[in-house]
Amino acid sequence: MTENSWESADLEEEYPERRSRRPLHEEAAERLRDMIVEGELTPGERITEQSLCDRMGLSRTPLREAIKTLTSEGLILLQPNRGASVASPSLEDIEDTFRVIGVLEALAGELACGNLGDDDVAEIRVLHYQMALHRTRGERLEYFKLNQRIHEKIVELSGNAVLLETHRRLGGRIRRHRFAANMAAERWDQAIREHEEMLEALDERDGVRLAEILRRHLDNKRAAAENATAAERKNAAD
């Protein structure tokens, strides 16, 4: 068996939900992304290649490719002579990025309602119901991934390539903070209600209403994320 075959087998044994046969570095990038989003790797923590290789059953080559991917997404910071570390944006950077993302998603929602087909609405509805089921089960990561897919789908349906590229480039900077925003049960339930409002606006093809909902949704998420991040950093400092 080749080295890559062993690596693939290791990942499949640890993560039996794996169904696709994506390149190994993409599998590694997804796992590393989850580790950062869930806080298994903390903001500012150095990325130690050998330690991660041992934990993930990988050689350095696919791990390094994964690190490059997450660096381009803004989740990892590469510094000359200091290596890689988990990005730790300031509260001001988090606030600024959330505000820009809110404007981008509001515009995307308004544009998307002019492009929607019935199949598009049905797809988002299915994603929403699956997401809500994960909320019922308390499965945060699974919920979060479907939540992000809904937002990404709306942006894709805007039909604006520049908007899509900008959203993807900025989104990684606050991916972990969007996840942290729903740590409180009250905010999590509020987010579900906001997504239900989004579905209604999509059904009605009401772009103005959808834009307003998305703007409010991101503003609420920003406030929750800032509170969660501030509390996390205070606890780390104590």
Structure confidence at residue 79 (pLDDT): 85
pLDDT by residue (tens digit) across 36-45?
998 899 889 9
17/29 Cα distance (integer angstroms): 16
- E runs forming strands in 64-129: 76-79, 83-86
Contact status, residue 215 vs residue 198, Cβ threshold 8 Å: no
pLDDT of residue 82: 82
Who contacts 177 (Cβ-Cβ below 8 Å, separation ≥6)? 94, 98, 225, 226, 228, 229
Residue 4: per-residue pLDDT = 42
User: pLDDT tens digits for 182-196?
Assistant: 878 888 999 999 999
pLDDT tens sequence across 30-73: 999 999 998 899 889 999 889 888 888 888 899 999 999 999 98
pLDDT surpassing 90 at residue 235: no
The residue whose two tokens read 């308004």 is 110
> What's the pLDDT score for residue 162?
97
CA proximity to 169, closest of 72, 66, 76:
72
Query: What's this model's pTM, rounded to 2 decimal places?
Result: 0.81
To 5 degrees, how large is the angle CA 54–CA 76–CA 61?
A: 40
Tell me the C-alpha to C-alpha distance, in Å, between residue 210 and each of 57, 75, 84, 90, 163.
44, 29, 39, 30, 17
Question: What 3-state DSSP class applies to 77?
Answer: strand
In tens, the pLDDT along 124-175 reads 999 999 999 999 999 999 999 999 999 999 999 999 999 999 999 899 889 9
Of 22-26, 50-54, 88-92, 162-166, the poorest mean pLDDT is in 22-26
Provide the pLDDT for residue 10.
45
Residue 214 has a pLDDT of 97
Is 13's pLDDT higher than 70?
Answer: no
Determine phi and psi for 113, rounding to 5 degrees: -65, -20
Is residue 113 over pLDDT 70?
Answer: yes
- Contact in structure between 198 and 213 (CB atoms under 8 Å): yes
What ranges make up the beta strands (E) of the chain? 76-79, 83-86
Q: Which domains does the chain have, with CATH numbers?
A: 3-86 (1.10.10.10), 91-237 (1.20.120.530)
- The per-residue pLDDT of the chain, averaged, comes to 88
